[in-house]
Amino acid sequence: MVQEAHAALARFSAADGLAVILLKVAVVDSASYGAIPAGAHRLAEKDLHVLAAALGCGATHLITGDVKHFGSLMGRADFPIRVMVPRQYIDQRGGR
């Protein structure tokens, strides 16, 4: 996941900021999918570990550019974690 984030941010000359962010990152085991909430059944098998890790570490947000696979979970008030694209998160936080 870190490699994916680094590659994505490199396109925007923002990869240097990733090192600072990673100082606050916790590595969690996503091997146990536990209780994947209803509504996540549309996720591709390859994406379940991402959701499981976010839920497993108690994240409040899952930030992804993968609208194709995670789009059905975005903007849902009934879902236990807020799923959004990076721009939505930045705007919500009062960023640029």
pLDDT in tens, the chain (96 residues): 666 666 666 665 665 666 677 777 766 665 555 667 877 767 888 888 888 888 888 889 999 999 999 999 998 888 899 999 998 988 888 765
**All structural domains of the chain with their residue ranges:** 29-92
Cβ contacts of 29-36, under 8 Å, gap ≥ 24: 29/53, 29/56, 30/56, 32/56
Strands (E) located in the chain: 61-63, 82-84
Q: What is the pLDDT of residue 35?
A: 67
Q: What is the pLDDT of residue 32?
A: 57
Q: What is the pLDDT of residue 18?
A: 66
